[in-house]
Structure 1
Amino acid sequence: MNEIFWPEGFLPGFTENFVSNEMIVAGMNAADIWPLLSTATLWPTYYANSANIRFHNAQGPQLEVGARFYFETFGFPVEAKCTEYVQPMDGQPGRVAWHGWAGEGETRIDVHHAWLIEDLSDGRVRILTQETQKGLPAQDLARAKPNPMINGHQDWLDGMVGAARQASERR
C-alpha cells in the first residue's frame, strides 16, 4: 500500500500532533470517492464539521495545486493552500493535500492534511487521511480525550463513504 508524502517540517513524530484515519471499503473504487474529496464545496454535504468553504482568486470548487481556499472546522477559521493534487488513474492512487493555518502568535496552528485514495484488489478502495499539526493549539488537541481530531476525521470518512454509497444507489 502507498503512503503519504510529508513536506519538510511536518513529518509525523516531529510535530505537536498527528492523527491518522483509514477505511478500506468493499464494493467501491477510487472513482466513487474522489469527486467527494476533490470538490471542496461538497464537504459540508456529508461532513458536518466543515463549513463556509470559499475559494480565493476565482479558483475552485475543484482543488488543484496552488488553489487558495478558506473553510471552518474544529472551531478554527482555516486559510489553506492545496499543495498536492493527483487524480487516481491507471493503478496510481489519488493524492490531495493542503497546508492550513489559523490564528497568530501563540494561538497559531499550522497543519498539513493529506489524503490518499487507492484501489485495492477484489473491488476495494482504501481511504487514508493523515494530519500533522504545529503550534500551541495542536498541543491542546493532542492531549484532549477523546481526541477530537481522530473522531472528527472518522466522521469525515464515514460521511464520504455514505455519500458515495448514496450516489451509486441513485445511478
Structure 2
Amino acid sequence: MTTQNAINWPDTYLPGTGDNFVSNEVIVQGVTAADVWRYLTDTSTWESYYDNVADISFPAGGGPELADDLAFRFGTFGFPPLDAHVVEFQAPAEGVPGRLSWTAKQEGGPEERLDVLHAWLVEDLPGDRVRVLTQETQIGAPAAALATERPNPMLNGHQAWLDGLIRAASGMLGA
C-alpha cells in the first residue's frame, strides 16, 4: 500500500474555513519530482507555461528562484500584483516530498482585501510516477465572489498551471 502526503495547513487557512478553496492534482509517469520542482520554483519560467501570471518581481531582492522566507509580487486572476511571502520551502528528496507554500495578500477596504495561502506538494511515487498537488485557501470578499463563478476560475486556472508545469517538466513546451 502506498500512502500519499498531504499539505501542511496553518489554522488560519484550514480548507473549508475560508471564502474559497480549490484543490487540483495530477499523477503522471515519466517525470520526476526534481523535474517538476525546477519549473515550479524558478519564477522566470512561469510565464512560459502558465498564461495567468504576470508582473513577477522581488521588491526586497532575491529571485527568480523561490526560497524559504522570500518576499515576491505577482499578478494573477486580474488582481493587482499581490504581495507574496514563501512560508514553506522543502525541496523533494528520496522519500521526502517537495513542499512549497506562500501567502499572498491584497490590502484595502473590506471589498478589496484578500488573504491567500497557495500550497504545493510534489512527490515521486512508485512506478516512475510523480504526484503534484496544489491547493489554495482564500479569505476575503474577492475570494467569495470568485467562489460563486461558474465555471470556477480558480479550479480551471490552477489546472492550467498544473498542466503547463507538467508539459514544461517533461520537455514538451511548444510541442
What is the TM-score of this pair, normalised by structure 1?
A: 0.95
Give structure 1 stretches of 5+ with no counterpart: none
| Match of residue 84 from structure 1 | 88
| Match of residue 119 from structure 2 | 114
Letter in 2 for 1:93: P
Q: Which runs of 4+ in 1 moved over 2 A?
A: none
**Aligned partner (choices 11, 15, 33) of residue 14 of structure 2:** 11
What is the TM-score of this pair, normalised by structure 2?
A: 0.93
Q: Give the percent of matched residue pairs that are identical in Structure 1 and Structure 2.
A: 51
Instruction: Provide the alpha-carbon RMSD of the alignment.
Output: 1.2
Q: Return the offset for 1:167.
A: 6.3
- What SS is found at the alignment partner of 1:58? coil
Tell me, yes or no, if the aligned pair for 2:30 and 2:170 is still in contact at 8 Å.
no
**Aligned partner (choices 61, 66, 78) of residue 75 of structure 1:** 78
* Distance in 2, Cα, partners of 1:83 & 1:145: 31
**Aligned partner (choices 120, 132, 139) of residue 127 of structure 1:** 132
Letter in 1 for 2:86: C
- What SS is found at the alignment partner of 1:105? coil
Tell me, yes or no, if the aligned pair for 1:68 and 1:79 is still in contact at 8 Å.
yes
Tell me, yes or no, if the aligned pair for 2:123 and 2:131 is still in contact at 8 Å.
yes
- What SS is found at the alignment partner of 1:15? coil
| Match of residue 29 from structure 2 | 26
Q: Return the offset for 1:88.
A: 0.2
Deviation track 1:106-134 (CA, whole Å, cap 9, x = no partner) reads: 21111000000000000000000000000
Give structure 2 stretches of 5+ with no counterpart: none
